[in-house]
Amino acid sequence: KCVVFWMRMSDLRITDNKALSRASKQAQQDGIPLLALFIISPQDFVAHDIGARKIDFVFRNLHSLKKSLSELHIPLYVAVQKRRKDIPTSIIDFCEKYEARNLFANIEYEVDELRRDIETLKLGLSKGYRANFEHDKCIVEPGKLVTKQGHAYAVYSPYQRNWLATVNSNISYHLEDCANPTGNSSSIRTSDVFSPLFDTSIPAADVGLQEDDANKMKEVWPEGEEAAAKILQRFLNTKSRTSQLGAVNPVSSGSEDSPNNNRVAEYGKERDRIDSDTTSRLSAYLTSGVISIRACVRATMLAEAKKIEGDKTSGIGRWLQELAWRDFYTNILAAFPRVSMGRPYLEKFSAVVWENHQVPQESGWKVGMTGVPIVDATMRCINEMGWVHNRARMITAMYLTKDLMIDWRVGERYFMEKLIDGDLSSNNGGWQWCASTGVDPCPYFRIFNPYTQSLKADPTGNFIRNWIPELRKLHGTDLHNPPATLADELGYPRPIIDHHVARERALRRYKNPGEE
Ligand code: FAD
């Protein structure tokens, strides 16, 4: 007999994990061992366009977890299930085999995953097994906050105000629910109990990642809860340095202890600067659940030692608003499942005519050869590091959809392939915001001028110079928008499209969806 905790790709941690905590309590109450289970289904990776870097990150974290769980005498069983539709049956078969009356898991809000869990729940009930699903990904669970009319929020600002009030109403929000698991008593020799029944080794991860890329990802984005906690502390306690761009290990960099002038304190003012290392770089860890959002919010509240004001100029207040975007987009995914099915939230833009036959332009964008330095630096940074600053993501997404008029779904897919923090709700939300097709989007007539954006976001030019060696000698406006002869001389492409002409085309097509 045992209790089963079914771990997923989005909750890869022991600390502050709601379903794990509940499973542990149940096991203690029943006086039986706790077992952790992880199912790998390659079809899940394909269905969500999850790239090799993120899959590799998941496997690295699984190895790290296996070690930490074994210190608590909790075995981790990792199994491969080729067909994702067979997962519910195999989970309930597993419960039957090990007489696990109670199964615990945290909810994943994507449509297929919700269907899978409902199926598991039904199948379990029909055979006398209880599947318990917990809200864990967000600090305020999807569906909890609604408008006065009882509808899901589709506008961020009122959602965020309600979100902040809810979080402030309980400083240790949900803390009591998430005590760390006590672990199995060492006298219950779980290895003896379970080893004859299954192999506890983790299957090899053949994810198609080149060895040098894998090594770089491991160095820049180290796995494990300890690494995530250090990154959070670095953000809260150390100062940013303008020389650190892209290729920085967020764990080891930033040792200057300066509580009054640290990254988070400067965040309100500096967060849109692409040329310095000002943001937390926690997204990969939040996306895979290596750290919980509750831990991030509690740490900032402790740092302030009070409730958080919604003040945009306060660093912590502003940072919390970014975390609220993450909850907001997850809320949207749960409330409007069509957004995860490749459909725009604003259906009226379904008919916009895209330039999807422009293969050379699309490839130029992907490899960072559009002739627009800020866009190219961004794409080269993503290709190299699996991550780039939010403002850079916005500029390049706006450029692909409005200047090149290439379908936002092409960009969404490419980001998922390359990003280490690829997350369906945030990525879809970001792309649909930039393409003006999403909830509370950028209005279609507010088209970023990439050159002005570049001057504002990268005023030192360090970001562009770092990622485009061809332009390293340039400064000022020449760097942000190189004159054609200079570009030719330096072997850098001329712009593949004229921004002003492209802008007019985008305005026309958005105004009259369906027309050229
Ligand atoms: P910080 O500025 O330190 O913010 C803290 C945390 O808040 C982030 O780690 C993230 O979890 C959350 N957050 C911040 N901004 C946003 C936002 N706009 N939307 C949702 N959550 C946010 N984020 C992802 O985690 N995964 C993605 O796949 C993803 N794709 C994006 C695609 C586009 C086109 C755009 C415009 C944005 C995307 N974002 C995505 C949001 C954002 O760019 C990243 O979360 C952020 O750059 C991560 O860096 P950070 O951890 O240093 O963020």
Question: What's the confidence (pLDDT) of residue 19?
Answer: 97
One-letter identity of residue 305: A
Active site residue 163: no
pLDDT in tens, 478-510: 999 999 999 999 999 999 999 999 999 999 999
Q: Which of 426, 428, 432 to mutate to test the pocket of ligand 1 (most atoms within 8 A of CB)?
A: 426
Label residue 208 left, alpha or beta by phi (over 0 means left) and psi (-120 to 50 means alpha): left
| Average pLDDT over the chain, rounded to an integer | 90
Question: In angstroms, rounded to a whole number, what is the distance separating the alpha carbons of residues 410 and 396?
Answer: 13
Q: Is a pLDDT exceeding 80 seen at residue 406?
A: yes
Q: Is any atom of ligand 1 closer than 6 Å to the C-beta of 266? A: no
Minimum CA distance residue for ligand 1 atom 46: 390
Going 67 to 72 to 75 to 76, the CA torsion angle's sign is negative
Active site residue 325: yes
Q: Is any atom of ligand 1 closer than 6 Å to the C-beta of 415? A: yes
Contact assessment for residue 145 and residue 161, using Cβ atoms and an 8 Å cutoff? no
Enumerate the H helices of 31-51 as residue ranges.
42-47
One-letter identity of residue 370: T
Q: Of the listed 132, 168, 237, 390, which one is catalytic?
A: 390
Question: What's the confidence (pLDDT) of residue 258?
Answer: 45
Share of the chain above pLDDT 70, in %: 90
Domains 1-136 and 341-511 agree in fold? no
> For residue 434, how many C-alpha atoms fall within 13 Å in the half-sphere facing its CB?
29
Q: Is any atom of ligand 1 closer than 6 Å to the C-beta of 326? A: yes
One-letter identity of residue 400: L
Distance 428 CA to ligand 1 centre (A): 11
Contact assessment for residue 138 and residue 327, using Cβ atoms and an 8 Å cutoff? yes
Distance 53 CA to ligand 1 centre (A): 17
What is the domain class of 1-136 according to CATH?
alpha beta
> What residue has token string 């990154």?
231
Distance 322 CA to ligand 1 centre (A): 8
Q: Is a pLDDT exceeding 60 seen at residue 264?
A: yes
Report the CATH superfamily, name and number, of domain 341-511: DNA Cyclobutane Dipyrimidine Photolyase, subunit A, domain 3 (1.10.579.10)
Question: What's the confidence (pLDDT) of residue 273?
Answer: 93
Residue boundaries of the structural domains of the chain: 1-136, 216-335, 341-511
Contact assessment for residue 217 and residue 92, using Cβ atoms and an 8 Å cutoff? no
Question: In angstroms, rounded to a whole number, what is the distance separating the alpha carbons of residues 230 and 456?
Answer: 30
Q: Is any atom of ligand 1 closer than 6 Å to the C-beta of 322? A: yes
Active site residue 322: yes
pLDDT, average across residues 200-208: 76
Active site residue 106: no
One-letter identity of residue 401: T
Distance 452 CA to ligand 1 centre (A): 22
Q: Which of 328, 421, 424 to mutate to test the pocket of ligand 1 (most atoms within 8 A of CB)?
A: 421
Crossing angle of helices 424-434 and 408-418, in 10° steps, is 140
Question: In angstroms, rounded to a whole number, what is the distance separating the alpha carbons of residues 359 and 410?
Answer: 11
Q: Is a pLDDT exceeding 80 seen at residue 312?
A: no
What is the domain class of 216-335 according to CATH?
mainly alpha
Minimum CA distance residue for ligand 1 atom 43: 390
| 153-162, 307-316, 389-398: least confident range | 307-316
Minimum CA distance residue for ligand 1 atom 48: 283
Question: What's the confidence (pLDDT) of residue 244?
Answer: 43
Q: Which of 137, 238, 322 to mutate to test the pocket of ligand 1 (most atoms within 8 A of CB)?
A: 322
Contact assessment for residue 326 and residue 138, using Cβ atoms and an 8 Å cutoff? yes
Crossing angle of helices 424-434 and 315-335, in 10° steps, is 100
Q: Which residue has the higher pLDDT, 178 or 221?
A: 221
Q: Is any atom of ligand 1 closer than 6 Å to the C-beta of 510? A: no
Tokens linked to 381: 């940074």
pLDDT band at 184 (very low <50, low <70, confident <90, very high): confident
Active site residue 226: no
Q: Which of 390, 393, 399 to mutate to test the pocket of ligand 1 (most atoms within 8 A of CB)?
A: 390
Active site residue 362: no
Question: In angstroms, rounded to a whole number, what is the distance separating the alpha carbons of residues 152 and 342?
Answer: 20
Q: Is any atom of ligand 1 closer than 6 Å to the C-beta of 292? A: no
Question: What's the confidence (pLDDT) of residue 422?
Answer: 98
Question: What's the confidence (pLDDT) of residue 259?
Answer: 45
Question: What's the confidence (pLDDT) of residue 251?
Answer: 64
